[in-house]
Amino acid sequence: MSSGRVFRHARLRMTVAAAAVCALSAALLAPQAAAADAAPYSETYRPQFHFTPDKNWMNDPNGLVYYQGEYHLFYQYNPNGNSWGDMSWGHAVSADLVHWQQLPLALSQDDKEMVFSGSAVVDENNTTGFGTTANPPMVAIYTSHNKSTGIQSQSLAYSTDRGRTWTKYQGNPVIDIGSTDFRDPKVQWYTPTKSWLMTVSLSTEHKVRFYFSKNLKDWTQLSEFGPAGATGGVWECPDLFPLAVDGDTNNIKWVLVVNINPGGIAGGSAAQYFIGDFDGTKFTAEDDGTHTPPNGTVVQDFEGTGFGSWTAAGTAFGPGPAAGTLDGQQTVAGFDGKGLANSFHSGDATTGTLTSPSFTVDSPYLNFKIGGGRHPHQPGKVLADFEGGTYGGWGTTGNAFGPAPAAGTLPGQQQVSGFQGSGLVNTFLNGDAGTGTLTSPGFTIDKRYVNFLIGGGNHPAGSANPTALELLVNGQVVRSATGKNAEALETASWDVSDLAGKKAQIKVVDSNTGSWGHINADQIVLSDTQARPGAQETSVNLIVDGQVVRSATGSDSEMLDWASFNMVPHLGKKAQIQLVDMNTGGWGHILADQFTAADSPALSVLQRAHWADYGKDYYAAVSWENAPDSKRYMIGWMNNWDYAGAIPTSPWRGGQSIPRQLALRTVDGVVRLTSEPVDSVTSLRQPSPATATAGIVTNTSKSLIGPAAEGKALDIEATFSLKDAERFGLKVRTGTAGEETVIGYDTTTQELYVDRTHSGAVDFNSTFPGIQTAPLKAANGEIKLRILVDWSSVEVFGGDGEAVITDQIFPDPAGQGVQVFAENGSVTLNSATVWHLDSTHG
């Protein structure tokens, strides 16, 4: 069995069997301390107006119901620690959805079961017999996770004192199909049939199943929905509810929310939805998911016997296109014609690149199909990649380096592997007899890490005859690295945050003529993200002026799907396409096909799916039942299973989003689910907001208002009129060392975006830093933003709530600035108002 198959199946078992409801992280890392002795709710990253438990781990919201003036929020909770485990239901109540009172533990795990996610209802007619019609019971319907068998079944508990104390039903479970992936029941009263309706997930099958009951105890299956939409991970925490379209109560549609992990639009966890009809038995989605990509000029379709003018380096891509599935590989599907690029040759153990010839960009989009591993390119400033046949501005001495980079293994040398592209530094030019140095031009250290690949001899700097890579500041060696007496290059990194702003040089030194007296080096990159061994990329990159300007990766799937690069900013420039496989671990391969220059973008399944939020941190989203005036409020867990166990918070871990009011609105002729912060958020606004002066902003980033707008808990409303700026918007939590969270609009792609690459602590997980985007068209030439900033999050609502991005951030507490910016042109700031928000904790 190949390494790719082993990893995929192991990952699936881990995600499903070890996961709690709404999925579990692949690895819950040790907590990172955060002011353990701080006063309650004043810890460094403690949210001030989002719900968090006093201490310990929290994930999915559960049991959302309104009863006798109280919104109930139950949630997945570990009463015994700050990492996932011992799943039980915590409990809080609120009169306004922003001020929360924590109550004692509601439903506790025991020796036999953990209490996974579910819902709660008020049994007004006492159909269960758990209460009386005068004092109807509140009933929780939850997933029992059997600790000994892993079986997930649906169970009941009830309360007759407004949810303060609970009794588990002696007849549990009420539904048991013998499955380990059957969870998260959402139950509601369905008036047309005067019965209870349950929506529950068959997680690994990517299905939602519907049941009905007259008494919450005896259930009959109605129908199933799925697979549909995004299916890259398990389906969890479903929800089903009706909404009026554009406020027209004569035009009701049903919304089915299905949370997914991994495989979300921004990577990892996310909340997708379907719009359609529910007839009392089955749900039918309006969108059937079909997609016809735009026509264009085919650049490479891999239909020939070889790669043509494309150049392969390494062994991963083989001598030519693959005819489909390779030995030991799961079935490859979704490619066009007879051939594709497939880097699974000899399994995941091989590495290499496949690079197109240089071409002039003359079309707005480059569309292509992609599959394989999810190992994204980590952006950075390339100091040297040793491509192009020269050392560029690097100076050499001695005879070890020769006039140009090596193309790989040199005569008499063991096989060299692990380098990227077609060139590297390799001082085995004259065997181990050669010596010399290779020194870079000066550069400014403006990022936190220097990442590189290194191999060769183990002779550290400072020894008699080093073979070393050195970082020089003021001519002094301040960092160094050496090989491990191996020809394979490995990932290494220096933390240079203490050297920010200093001028530096990189020097490669070979002073050794003995055994292993040489050094290999490649891909020296300044980055805000630390390179991690075993996490190298499997990606398709667009390279312009030697820099990766666009990148895409697979989704840990052998099914190819459409992707697209926006080429507009690069029209007229020379570019190359490069397929990169630098990963030898699980899913360490890439698939690609059908590169096509076109006038409009092809859309992936993820782009065609509908998302309640486009950020990284909105998951397990479900809505309240019985809300006054038939309003529909939703809340989500503000975290992502990619890094949920690693976020640097203590003594709690996990928060909930701001509750949001949902609506169905027609946007550009399509009915969309929109969301805006619950109205009661405005009650937290302090008087006398700061107001910006309207005007034109051109090619600058400057304070929006001044000190009056600075803060860690803010509510910002801003409106811009488009001019010719490519990007514009606001930066929040700006501070020292270049920290900032950028909330912008890209006119070239018509997308709202949040860039948290420089937002503070980002290096606890490689998937955390990055940019999240959401489609958003200007309305009458204007872009409207509503931004909620808390001590460790931003929630951005674009337009009238049709584009929402929720992201956690972990900035330095001193970073409280707010700036307005415009890039490559001008934009008109029409208005901007900043309110400071009161804490809800006292």
Active site members: 60
Instruction: In whole angstroms, give the CA distance from residue 164 to residue 142.
Output: 17
Find out whether 20 and 59 touch, Cβ atoms under 8 Å.
yes
Instruction: In whole angstroms, give the CA distance from residue 495 to residue 830.
Output: 42
CA distances to 97, 187, 623, 628, 698 from 66, in Å: 11, 14, 11, 8, 49
Residue type, 38: A
Q: Which residues pair with 230 in a beta bridge?
A: none
Q: Residue 590 corresponds to which tokens in the numbers above?
A: 């890439």
Q: Which of 88, 74, 79 is nearest to 120 (CA)?
A: 74
Dihedral over Cα of 329, 335, 337, 339: its sign:
negative
Instruction: In whole angstroms, give the CA distance from residue 676 to residue 661.
Output: 6
Instruction: In whole angstroms, give the CA distance from residue 51 to residue 545.
Output: 47
> Can you say whether residue 356 is alpha, beta or left, with left for phi > 0 and alpha for psi between -120 and 50 degrees?
beta
Instruction: In whole angstroms, give the CA distance from residue 516 to residue 511.
Output: 11
CA distances to 89, 599, 603 from 68, in Å: 21, 57, 47
DSSP string, 648-702: ---SEE--BPPPEEEEEEEETTEEEEEEEE-GGGGGGBPSS-EEPPPEEEEEEEE
HSE-up of 340 (CA within 13 Å, CB side)? Answer: 28
Find out whether 258 and 233 touch, Cβ atoms under 8 Å.
no
Find out whether 677 and 657 touch, Cβ atoms under 8 Å.
no
Instruction: In whole angstroms, give the CA distance from residue 242 to residue 630.
Output: 10
CA distances to 95, 555, 750 from 8, in Å: 45, 11, 35
Secondary structure letter of residue 363 according to DSSP: S
Instruction: In whole angstroms, give the CA distance from residue 330 to residue 556.
Output: 11
Instruction: In whole angstroms, give the CA distance from residue 451 to residue 250.
Output: 60
Find out whether 654 and 81 touch, Cβ atoms under 8 Å.
no
Contacts of 814 (CB under 8 A, 6+ apart): 735, 736
Phi, psi of 737 (to 5 degrees): 55, 25
Task: Sort strands 741-746 and 727-734 into parallel, antiparallel or unpaired.
Answer: antiparallel
Phi, psi of 9 (to 5 degrees): -65, -40
In which residue are the tokens 């005859």 written? 465
Q: Which of 187, 181, 238, 177 is nearest to 213 (CA)?
A: 187
Helix, strand or coil for residue 15? helix
Contacts of 688 (CB under 8 A, 6+ apart): none
Instruction: In whole angstroms, give the CA distance from residue 739 to residue 487.
Output: 38
Residue type, 224: E
The end-to-end CA distance of the chain, in Å, is 58
Find out whether 677 and 658 touch, Cβ atoms under 8 Å.
yes
Length of the chain: 842
Instruction: In whole angstroms, give the CA distance from residue 489 to residue 453.
Output: 5
In which residue are the tokens 């980033």 written? 701
